Amino acid sequence: MAESEAVSKARMRCREIMTSSVRTASPDTPLMEVAALMRDGDMGSVPVVNGGKLVGIVTDRDIVVRAVAAGKNASTPIGEAMTSEIFSVKPDDFVFEAIRIMGDKQVRRVPVVTESGELAGIIAMADVALEMEDEREIAETLEEISSGAGFWGKK
């Protein structure tokens, strides 16, 4: 990748790579309904919105740890299992900020929220990888992982 291309990609805004058609739940949506939404949409998290504002996010791990392992039933409102501490970016923030949050907070997805607190979209690690990485490097890494050719032993 040419240096000028790398610089321009580093200056991309979150709105340029976010997924804007995001399926959401409300805090009173039953646990089972959110789990089915995750299954049917092949997603690991669902933003929780109340009155148009992002109030939390629930992951498949939240459902297992905070609900199933705690003995909650399938009709329990997802608000009881969601994470309410949200690490987000704004649509005009640089993509680098979303990457920094993912690394610092150890999260795989970062909601994109407007100034008024409304959900505009979401950025997943895969979105960043597709836009920011050298395609040849991704292909080589995937090939090494697939072949078991000592990827984890690299220094």
What is the average per-residue pLDDT within 84-113? 92
What is the average per-residue pLDDT within 74-102? 94
- Domain parsing of the chain, residue ranges: 3-153
* C-beta of residue 60 within 8 angstroms of C-beta of residue 44: yes
* HSE-up (13 A, CA, CB side) for residue 55: 15
pLDDT given at position 147:
54
Burial class (CB in 10 A: 0-12, 13-18, 19+), 18: buried
pLDDT given at position 130:
74
Cα–Cα distance for residue pair 80/33, rounded to 1 Å: 14
User: Architecture of domain 3-153 in CATH?
Assistant: Roll (3.10)
Mapped onto helix, strand or coil, the DSSP state of residue 51 is coil
112-140 residue pLDDT tens: 999 999 999 999 988 877 775 555 554 45
pLDDT greater at residue 73 or residue 130? 73
Tell me the C-alpha to C-alpha distance, in Å, between residue 27 and each of 21, 74, 99, 109: 19, 14, 27, 19
pLDDT given at position 27:
98
Tell me the pTM: 0.77
